[in-house]
Structure 1
C-alpha cells in the first residue's frame, strides 16, 4: 500500500513538473520581448544640455495593424549643409535621452545626426517593441532621411550600439548604397547571447526563440565599409562577438578593440582616439 502511494506521488509530481515546465516554455515564447527590450517613456536629457540646436521630429510608421503611429526622434543639424548624416540606432535600454551625449559626440565630428526612439520607447507611439517592429522603424527612419530630407544615401552613415548594432546591420543589408556602417559593442545573435549566459539552459532555446537578431549571418551580406568597435571589459556582450562579426563581414572592414572599456563607456575610455578612429573611417569610406 505504501509503495503504491509513493508511486502515485512520483507520478503526480512528474506530471506537475512537466506542466510547470511547459507553462514556463509558453511564457518564455510569448513574453521573451520583455527579456530583450527595456524601454522608458521618461526622457531625462536632450541635446539642449549640450547647447545644441535640434528639432523634434515625428515620423509616421504604418504598423502591422494598419494604424499609423508616430515615431519620435531628434534631428541635430550639422554646421555645414553638405555634411554627412549619421542615422543613430540605440540599444535596448531607456530611450534617446540616454544617448544624447554620444549623439553629441558624432555631431562634434561634423555629422548631422538623426536619432530615433523605436516605437514603444520614449515619446514614440506604439505598443511594446518586437524584432520586426524595430526593423520597420529603422527602415522608416532611413526613408525619412532620403525622401523627406533629400539626403543622398551615399552621404548617410548608419550607427548602431548593442541591440542597435543588430538593427543597423539589418538595415544596411537592405540599403547597400549607404556610405558605411559603425557597429559598437554588438552581438552575433540573441541565441548566442542566451547560450553564453546560461539562465535558460534548461529550455529548448532554439525552439522557443522567436526574436533572433541574427547578425552573424546577415553581416555577410554587407556591401559597404564597416567599422566594429568593442571594449575588452564588456561583460554584457563579450568582445569575441565583435571579432566573430568582423571575421564574417566582407571587406572593406575594420575592428577596433578598446582596452579597459565596458559595454557603455567605449567612447569615454577611448577619449580622443574614438574621434580619430571614426573620422579616419569616414574619410576612407567617402
Structure 2
C-alpha cells in the first residue's frame, strides 16, 4: 500500500515534467517563427498628419515584397526652406502619425523631411514587418530621395529613433556618402536588449534569435559624422547603450545625454538645447564634407 502513492507521485512528476518540457519547446519554436511579433507593434490608424503644420504631400514608393509582388510604402514629403533633408525612420510602435510633432522640429530648423511607414505600418502595404523588410524599406526611401527627388547624398541626414535608430545605422553603413547620422534613444543590439527583459532570458537567445539588429557591430564601419542622443531616465532602453554605440563609432561623433528625459520626450525636455545640439552637429557634418 505504501508503494502506490510513491509510484503515483513519480509518474505525476514525470508527466508534469514532460508537459513543462513540451510547453518550453513549443515556446522556443514559437519564438523562432514569430519573434518579430515581440519587436514590431504597428498600427494602421494614423491619428495625426502634418496638415495645418506645414505643406506636405503623400508619397507612395514601390518595393518588391518577399513573394515577388510589388508593394507600396506610404510616406510624407514635407519640403523645407533649405536644401538639406532628413530621412526620418521611426521606432517600432504605431506609425508616422505618432512622429509628426518631432519631425516638425527638423522642419523648424529648415530641413525638408521624408517620413516613411515601413510595410505593415500605417497605410503602407505588405505583411507584418521583419528586420530584412524594414532595411529594404529604408533603402527604398533613400533611393527615392537621391533618384526621384534628385537630392545629393551630401545633403541627406539619416535620423532614427529607438528601433529606427538601428535601421538608420544599417542604412548609414551602406551609404557612407550621406551627410550625417542622428541616432536617438536606440540600442546596441537586439541580443543585448534580450538581457534587459528577464522573461526572455529563460530562452536560448543565441540559438533562436535571428532578428538581430546588431548596431554595435555596424557603427564601427561608419564613414560619416554621427550624433547619439539619449534620455538618462529612459526605462525602455538604457542610456548606457548609446554610450557604448558612441564609444564604438569612429570620429567625428557627438553624444548628447539629457538627464531628466525618458524614451520619447528627449526633445521636449531638452527644449532649445535639443535644437541647438542638432544645429551644431549639422555644422560639424557640413564642415567635414567641405574639408
**TM-score normalized by the length of structure 2:** 0.96
Provide the rounded CA distance (Å) in 2 between the counterparts of 1:41 and 1:6.
52
Match of 1:199, SS state, is helix
Q: Quote how far apart the aligned CAs of 1:171 are.
A: 0.3
TM alignment of 1:110-121, pairs within 5 A: 110-121=110-121
Q: Quote how far apart the aligned CAs of 1:5 are.
A: 2.2
Match of 1:59 among 30, 53, 61: 61
Match of 2:36 among 33, 36, 55: 33
Match of 1:200, SS state, is helix
Q: Which residue of 1 aligns with 2:277?
A: 277
**Which range is displaced more, 1-10 or 259-268?**
1-10
1:161 pairs with 2:158: no
Q: 1:49 to 1:199 in 2, by over 3 A?
A: farther
For residues 219-270 of structure 1, what are the alpha-carbon distances to aligned partners after superposition, in whole Å with 9 as ceiling and x for unaligned? 1110000000001100000000000000000111000101100000000001
Q: Which residue of 1 aligns with 2:189?
A: 189
Paired residue total = 283
Provide the rounded CA distance (Å) in 1 between the counterparts of 2:18 and 2:144.
54
Provide the rounded CA distance (Å) in 1 between the counterparts of 2:86 and 2:202.
42
Provide the rounded CA distance (Å) in 1 between the counterparts of 2:67 and 2:174.
23
TM alignment of 1:1-286, pairs within 5 A: 1-2=3-4, 3-50=6-53, 52-80=54-82, 83-286=83-286
**Which range is displaced more, 21-30 or 243-252?**
21-30
Q: Which residue of 1 aligns with 2:289?
A: none
Provide the rounded CA distance (Å) in 2 between the counterparts of 1:177 and 1:188.
23
Q: Which ranges in structure 1 are unaligned for 5 or more consecutive residues? A: none
Q: Quote how far apart the aligned CAs of 1:131 are.
A: 0.4
Match of 1:48, SS state, is coil
Q: Quote how far apart the aligned CAs of 1:64 are.
A: 1.7
**TM-score normalized by the length of structure 1:** 0.97
For residues 134-164 of structure 1, what are the alpha-carbon distances to aligned partners after superposition, in whole Å with 9 as ceiling and x for unaligned? 0000001001111111111111000000000
Q: Quote how far apart the aligned CAs of 1:208 are.
A: 1.4
Provide the rounded CA distance (Å) in 1 between the counterparts of 2:278 and 2:111.
11
Match of 2:227, SS state, is strand
Q: Quote how far apart the aligned CAs of 1:14 are.
A: 1.6
Match of 1:201, SS state, is helix
Q: Quote how far apart the aligned CAs of 1:210 are.
A: 1.4
RMSD of Structure 2 on Structure 1 (CA) = 0.9
Provide the rounded CA distance (Å) in 2 between the counterparts of 1:26 and 1:283.
49
